[in-house]
Structures are given as structure tokens and as C-alpha cells.
A and B are shown apart, each in its own frame.
Chain A
């Protein structure tokens, strides 16, 4: 059985259209994020409120969840407390409802109706974020440093520019590290996301000037995928939670894997067809790896769609992010990462 045989699709020919599509999606994402002032953070990031609720008799967690929406707590997490005989749960939500004195009776009634069991006790309190600002900054820095190492490896393997990319990564890494140290000394701890974005832009610019083509292609594909995924979350106003960060990390790994395999084929065909122009080689390589690209996306999508359809609550959102990421990642490997290699060719003409 074979789905795809000997295709000869002209991918590079439509690269302008693909670029326009990508830029449009990215622009929409950025505008949406700007308007909404970033993604809608869940309770893990922004903190919020905790409702402690105790029932008079045994209830199952699913029926408690059913009462969340009429209680005005849609999307909150529910956690069993104590032993089963305690009949107690904690509900966490990012809303700040302490000022609303009518909230408690409303929750009491809604949960009582959804479970069919009377609410014996209910208390409200504020909770801080699980992921502190410091932790968020560490995560962002970790991802940026990972990106620098990837630049070194890709430039070394595909263009034999180990020294050049190593120096670039060292300078950028040192600069970011220095700035963060200065910030911590001055007790100025804001603007970390901005710093990382700025560092990313500078990285891309340097790759351009130093002609680190493959590294630049890979990074742009990564940024493309993440921006669109986060942007769609912002557009749809889906809550940004800790599991979704895991999904974003997965998308990064997935997109990178896809891109590397296409690059590897380009390198191989470059040696094989030394007389052919670069766009021919790229087209050939993308076509040759197309069956593998689609198959891998398909198998991963099967698992993720199953999670999306059958999983509940948090897993549902997590799977949604994964689906967007897999689709976007597959698209960017074909239409974004490889055609970028042609950017310098145009300059040569």
C-alpha cells in the first residue's frame, strides 16, 4: 500500500504565496496577542481564587464539574481533598471573586443541583500562581539557550560552520545572560518576554548576515509555529495553562525534527545533483520526503486527535494545542524552512 508515489509538486514555485499566507497568520497572531495583552493566563500563571467545598454525602468528581458553568466557574480545575469519606473538593479558578458577596450562595446552589447532594460547607480564598515569575523567566531562558545550541549544531552539520555559529551563540548567550544578571542586580524583573523576543530577532538577523541559512530556516520555522499556535489560542480566547506550555515544548521538538529531515535530504541531493539549481534540489528533496512527512504527521495526529475527542478538560486544551502545532509544523517544514534557503540565491542574481 502506498499513498504517495513519485510526486513532483513545485513547492518553491509557490513560495511567495506560502510566505504571504505565513506572514498573514503571524500578523494576525501578533495583533490578537497585542489587543488581548498576551494570552489569557490560567490560574497556574496568574493566580486566582480557590473554593473549598464540602458535601454532606458522596459525590463523584464529574458531577461537581457539571456544576461549574452555572456557578460561573467554567474551566476551573477540581481536585478531591482528604479521603473519600470527607466528600470534599477544591476548585481553583483565575477569577477574583472575593469582592462579590453573592458569589458563595450561587456556587452553593449550582453545585448542590448538579450533584444532587447538599453542600455542607464552602470557603473562598485567594491563591498565588504556581508558576512564579521567576519560574517563567527560567523557562524562557532555557528555551532560548536551547535554541542557541540548536543553531550551532545545525550550522555545523549542514554548512560546516561550527566556529562561526559557536561564536555567534556564545555572544548572544553571553549578552542575554549579562542583561539578566544586570536586571537581577537592579531588581528590575520585568520585560523578560520582550528580551527573549528581541534576542530572537537579533539571532535571525545575525544568521542572515553570516549566511547561516539552515539555522535561520529552522529558527524561523520554529518561531512561525509557536507564534501561530499561541495566536490561535489568543484569537479563540482559550485559557493558557501549564499543560499548554508542555504542548508548546512538544511542538518545538516536533517542528525541529521535521525540518531536520528535509534539510538532510537537501544536503544529500546537493551532492548528488551538483549541476542542478538550488530550487530544483529543494523541490526534489521536499517531494522525496513528502510521504514520510505526511505519514509522521498522520500517526502523531491520530494519537492527538484521540486525546482531543476523548480526553476531558485540561487534556482537551492540551490536545488542541498539539493539533495546531502538528499541522502548522508540518506546513512550515515544507513551505517555510526550505524555501528560505533560496533567499540568498536571489541576492546572487
Chain B
């Protein structure tokens, strides 16, 4: 008699674990609740095509991108004017537009100025000139095709950045598309934390390091206007205990010394003293060098960390900082710090986005298609079960038990790993069921061959399993290799398919080689049968 104890215990443990992981989902379905109430609080996530979720339509403010591009040219134009010793009284961005104003002191310089623009700024055009007293006012604008290119790039870049952020956020298989010229359509399956999702998606996350203007007077700036080269921004601080947010006006120099483009990483860490979360950022090599130079040249001055035109902190520079690291503190909650670190890692949006529409949506496959699909799969599965009993009699029952347990294990695996189930994933399950049946068929056919050779039932079962095991392992390992590689290199639907396939193969190996064997041995051991029902 073979010792069945260890295998029986192993099987029971696996079954209990599977039941534990499936229970939350089953309870949700029965009660109709939206969150798992029972430990371990993990449910089977459904993808967009099966469940639906949150739908957003964003508008990328591409005009803002053109405006930003024009702003970047101001200092270049000033340098060009200086190089040509052309006297002027400032190059400024016309408020609420994408045009620049250049004030020349002499009308005689106008032809030469046009030459400079034509030679060195080929994407700009002089769109207007006018006299104002002794000044000549020249209006510059971006050429039409160049502006169009900037707008398109902004929309495409925004799409890619948002895609990266959502990947980091942990939502599986979102539907992200461009819609029209400047809109982005986003659907997130089953998202319940809509505020965090919207914060993540909508945050521009433009990070800038700028010096505090400690020479200017804040009160004067508040009363009239900020000194040249500076602007008023708010230093925002939140009391971590009460959550009250305070806002202090602060004069910040306009010149941007370093931006988030130089970041290589941003992650959440905790302050040793207060245990508050903050975001630790790390620069690339070039950024680290620039940061070292900035801090070295401005010891004992205050450096403001500005995010989306809000000052988060403005620490005094004590020493030159050579390591290429910095911290953003601000009384964050854990979720706020997480959203911020993801946004910084994924990069800034090239232009602000506005949420035009927010809805909940049904499944893309259509609810009726899903019901039909489930119904037809149940019918098909039932047909397979009946067929196995008819064809293999008692052994067919054993195969059916193994098959049902297999499906149970797959469901538990999906819940445990928090994988997202979509139609490609269901395809993986169907394939797995086919292969699970195949494993049992292999074993049964082998047993039949041994019986035909005159073996006793016990010996036939023994030999059948022994010979079939190697074949089953070869077949399944090959497919498992495919699943692992698809998981590693694929993304989106291919990954979802690989997950269910991988889980399914492992569970089918277990049910075929361990569970079926256990059932056979139990029956043969008890009944001491002379014939095998197969």
C-alpha cells in the first residue's frame, strides 16, 4: 500500500487555500457589493471588456504648449539682440496669447531685426510692427506649420505620459486613445478611487528649481507689482495633524535653473523624525552636475522647489549638494506622495490638460455578449463533463473532479495575484481547460494500453501514470515557457493571456498528476477491485 497521507494533506491544503481566495469574490457576487468584505480582501479583477469602469475625456491645452515654446525663445532673442548690439526695451510674452512683443529703441534697426529673425529664428515670423512714441513695437508669432507641429507633439507626448502614469498606478489594461486633435480618451477598468486617478492624470507635474528673490519686498510686490525678473507664487504648507492648508506669498525669480526633465527617479520615503512621507528625487548625471553647480554658487540662499507654479518648499542651501538628490516635503498624505512620485517618474505633461467628461461605462464587449459567452461556456463545459463520463465511465468522473478543481485553482490564482481578467485571459483559460482534459486523456489512454497488455488494474494505473507523466511535463513545460516569455516581453492583452495561461498550466499539472492519482489510488486501495472502470 502506498502512503497516501502526505498527498491527501497537500491536496486538502491547496483546496482550502483556493476556497479562501475565492470566497471574497463569491460573496461579492451573491450580495451585490462592490468591495470584498471577507479576508483576504482580494477579488478577481475584471477588465474593461468584461466589466467596464471609469471613462474620462481630457483636453490637452495645446495652445499653452505653443505659448510655452514661445516663452522659451525670449532669452534666446535677448541674447541675439545683445550680440548684434541692438538696443531694445524688453522682449515679453503678450499676456493670454502666443505672441511676443519686442520693443526696439530705433526704427532704423527694424530691417536688421527682421534679418536676425529670418536667419536665427526660422520658426518665427514678424506679424506686425507699429510705432509708439520713440519705440518701435514688433510682434512675433510662430509660423503656422511650426505651431501645428508643436500642438501635435504636445498631444502625442501627453498621451504617452498619461499612459506611463496609468501603468505605474497599477490599473491593468486600460483603454487609452487619442480622440480628435487634442483630446485623450481614457477608460480604466473597475476604478473606484476616482479622485486619485484624476489627480494622477490631470497633474501637469512641471517641476522647477528656482531661487527665492530675497532682495525684493513681498509687501511691495503684493501692493503693486513684482520686481523685474521675479514673480509672486504661493508657498503651500499643510499641517499634517489637522490637515489645514496655509498659503504664504513668496517672491520667486523667474529664471528656471533646473527642471524635472533631468529626473531619473522619484520615490516615497519617510522622515525619520516625524514619520511623514516625502518624495525623494534623483537627477541624472547632467542634472546632478547642474544641481551641484547651482547649490555651490548659492550657499546660504534659499532654493524654491516649484511644482505646477506652487512652491512646495524653499530650504536654505547650506552646502554644495553633489550627490544629485533632493527631497520634496509638504505634509503629504501617503496617497498624495504616491501620486506625485508617479507623476514625476512618468514625466511632465507638455501642456496642461482639462477633464472635459467623466462617466462610468459598461463593458466594451457589451453586457449581453458577456452573458451569452458565460452561458455558452457553461454549456460547453457541461458537454465535456458528460462526454468524459460516457467515454471513460468512472475514470471520467475522476477527470471531471480534476477539471472542476482546476478551474477553481485558476480563479483563486487570479484573485491571489490580483490579475485582471479580460477576454484574452479567458482564451487562456479555455486553452488550459483543453490541456487539463488532455493530460487526463493521456493518462487514461496509457492505462488502457496497459490493461490491454494484461496488467492488473493497480499495475496498469501505476504504469499509466509513470509513462504519461513525462509526456505531460514536456507538453506543459513547453507551453509554460511560451507563457513566461509572453508575460515578460508582452504588454496589455498579451500579458493578460500569459497570466491566465501560466496559472492554468500549473494548476492543471497539479490536478492531473496529484489529484487524479490520489483519487485512483484511494479507489483501488479500498475496493480491491478486479476490474477498472475505464
Q: Which residues of A contact B (CB under 8 A)?
A: 1-3, 47, 50, 60-62, 65, 77-83, 86, 90, 125-131, 135, 138-139, 141-143, 145-146, 149-150, 153-154, 157, 242-243, 245-247, 249-250, 252-254, 256-257, 260-261, 263-265, 268, 288-289, 291-292, 295-296, 298-300, 302-307, 309-315, 318, 322
Which of the candidate stretches B107-115, B474-482, B520-528 sits at the interface with the other chain? B474-482
Q: Which residues of B sit under 8 angstroms from A257, Cβ to Cβ?
A: 435, 438, 475-476, 478-479
Which of A62, A83, A300, A309: most chain B Cβ within 10 A?
Answer: A300
Assess A307 versus B380: contact at CB under 8 Å? Given A138-B489, A299-B387.
yes
Q: Across the interface, do A306 and B380 meet the contact criterion of CB distance under 8 Å?
A: yes
Q: Across the interface, do B489 and A315 meet the contact criterion of CB distance under 8 Å?
A: no
Assess A153 versus B477: contact at CB under 8 Å? Given A145-B485, A302-B383.
yes
Q: Across the interface, do A254 and B431 meet the contact criterion of CB distance under 8 Å?
A: yes
Which of the candidate stretches B242-250, B301-309, B368-376, B409-417 sits at the interface with the other chain? B368-376
Q: Across the interface, do A249 and B427 meet the contact criterion of CB distance under 8 Å?
A: yes
Across the A-B interface, the 8 shortest Cβ-Cβ residue pairs: A80-B362, A306-B380, A246-B424, A303-B380, A310-B376, A128-B178, A142-B489, A300-B434
Report A32 CB to chain B, min CB distance, Å: 24
Q: What is the number of residues of chain B that contact chain A, defined by CB distance less than 8 Å?
A: 80
Q: Across the interface, do B367 and A80 meet the contact criterion of CB distance under 8 Å?
A: yes
Beyond A1-B393, A61-B366, A253-B483, 4 extra complex contacts between A and B, CB < 8 Å: A81-B55, A146-B486, A150-B478, A249-B427
Q: Which of the residues B178, B434, B467, B478 comes within 8 Å of A127, measured between beta carbons?
A: B178
Report A83 CB to chain B, min CB distance, Å: 6
Q: Which residues of B contact A (CB under 8 A)?
A: 49, 52, 55, 159, 175-180, 183, 185, 359-369, 372-373, 375-377, 379-381, 383-384, 387-388, 390-393, 423-428, 430-431, 433-435, 437-438, 441-442, 445, 448-449, 467, 470-471, 474-479, 481-483, 485-486, 488-494, 497, 501
Q: Which residues of A sit under 8 angstroms from B177, Cβ to Cβ?
A: 47, 127-130
Report A271 CB to chain B, min CB distance, Å: 12
Report A225 CB to chain B, min CB distance, Å: 13
Nearest B-chain residue to A249, judged by Cβ? B497
Q: Which residues of B sit under 8 angstroms from A157, Cβ to Cβ?
A: 474
Q: Which residues of A sit under 8 angstroms from B364, Cβ to Cβ?
A: 77, 79
Assess A146 versus B433: contact at CB under 8 Å? Given A249-B497, A318-B423.
no
Report A318 CB to chain B, min CB distance, Å: 7
Q: Which residues of B sit under 8 angstroms from A149, Cβ to Cβ?
A: 481-482, 485
Q: Across the interface, do A303 and B369 meet the contact criterion of CB distance under 8 Å?
A: no
Which of A65, A295, A296: most chain B Cβ within 10 A?
Answer: A295
A315 to B437, CA, bound (A): 23
Q: Which residues of B sit under 8 angstroms from A309, Cβ to Cβ?
A: 376
Q: Which residues of B sit under 8 angstroms from A78, Cβ to Cβ?
A: 366
Q: Across the interface, do B362 and A79 meet the contact criterion of CB distance under 8 Å?
A: yes
Report A160 CB to chain B, min CB distance, Å: 14
Report A244 CB to chain B, min CB distance, Å: 10
Q: Across the interface, do B442 and A246 meet the contact criterion of CB distance under 8 Å?
A: no
Q: Enumerate 9 A-B pairs (CB-CB under 8 Å) in ascending A order.
A: A126-B180, A130-B175, A138-B494, A245-B494, A246-B424, A249-B428, A253-B435, A260-B478, A299-B388
Q: Which residues of A sit under 8 angstroms from B179, Cβ to Cβ?
A: 50, 125-128
Q: Which residues of B sit under 8 angstroms from A142, Cβ to Cβ?
A: 485-486, 488-490, 494
Q: Across the interface, do A322 and B178 meet the contact criterion of CB distance under 8 Å?
A: no
Q: Which of the residues A295, A310, A314 comes within 8 Å of B391, measured between beta carbons?
A: A295
Q: Across the interface, do B379 and A243 meet the contact criterion of CB distance under 8 Å?
A: no
Q: Which residues of B sit under 8 angstroms from A61, Cβ to Cβ?
A: 362, 366-368
A86 to B185, CA, bound (A): 19
Report A214 CB to chain B, min CB distance, Å: 11
Q: Which residues of A sit under 8 angstroms from B494, Cβ to Cβ?
A: 138-139, 142-143, 245, 249
A83 to B363, CA, bound (A): 12
A306 to B441, CA, bound (A): 21
Q: Which residues of A sit under 8 angstroms from B501, Cβ to Cβ?
A: 253
Q: Across the interface, do A315 and B365 meet the contact criterion of CB distance under 8 Å?
A: yes
Q: Across the interface, do A312 and B368 meet the contact criterion of CB distance under 8 Å?
A: yes
Q: Which residues of B sit under 8 angstroms from A80, Cβ to Cβ?
A: 52, 361-363, 367
A230 to B369, CA, bound (A): 24
Q: Across the interface, do A312 and B430 meet the contact criterion of CB distance under 8 Å?
A: no
Q: Across the interface, do A243 and B424 meet the contact criterion of CB distance under 8 Å?
A: yes
Assess A153 versus B478: contact at CB under 8 Å? Given A47-B177, A243-B423, A299-B384.
yes
Q: Which residues of A sit under 8 angstroms from B437, Cβ to Cβ?
A: 295-296, 299-300
Q: Which residues of B sit under 8 angstroms from A263, Cβ to Cβ?
A: 474
Report B130 CB to chain A, min CB distance, Å: 41
Q: Which of the residues A83, A246, A307 comes within 8 Å of B373, measured between beta carbons?
A: A307
Q: Which residues of B sit under 8 angstroms from A300, Cβ to Cβ?
A: 430, 433-434, 437
Report A304 CB to chain B, min CB distance, Å: 7
Q: Across the interface, do B387 and A302 meet the contact criterion of CB distance under 8 Å?
A: yes
Q: Which of the residues A81, A139, A288, A291 comes within 8 Å of B359, measured between beta carbons?
A: A81
Assess A253 versus B380: contact at CB under 8 Å? Given A146-B485, A299-B434.
no
Report A65 CB to chain B, min CB distance, Å: 7
Nearest B-chain residue to A290, judged by Cβ? B445
A245 to B494, CA, bound (A): 8
Q: Across the interface, do B424 and A82 meet the contact criterion of CB distance under 8 Å?
A: no
Assess A312 versus B366: contact at CB under 8 Å? Given A146-B481, A249-B427, A260-B474.
yes
Q: Across the interface, do B379 and A77 meet the contact criterion of CB distance under 8 Å?
A: no
A257 to B476, CA, bound (A): 7
A65 to B494, CA, bound (A): 28
Assess A246 versus B180: contact at CB under 8 Å? Given A77-B366, A299-B384, A304-B430.
no
Q: Which residues of B sit under 8 angstroms from A307, Cβ to Cβ?
A: 373, 376-377, 380
Q: Which residues of A sit under 8 angstroms from B490, Cβ to Cβ?
A: 138-139, 142
Q: Which of the residues A3, A62, A260, A314 comes within 8 Å of B365, measured between beta carbons?
A: A314
Q: Across the interface, do A256 and B176 meet the contact criterion of CB distance under 8 Å?
A: no
Q: Which residues of B sit under 8 angstroms from A90, Cβ to Cβ?
A: 361
Nearest B-chain residue to A64, judged by Cβ? B366
Report A269 CB to chain B, min CB distance, Å: 12
Q: Across the interface, do B486 and A249 meet the contact criterion of CB distance under 8 Å?
A: yes
Report B139 CB to chain A, min CB distance, Å: 34
Q: Across the interface, do B478 and A261 meet the contact criterion of CB distance under 8 Å?
A: no
Assess A253 versus B431: contact at CB under 8 Å? Given A130-B176, A145-B485.
yes
A296 to B479, CA, bound (A): 16
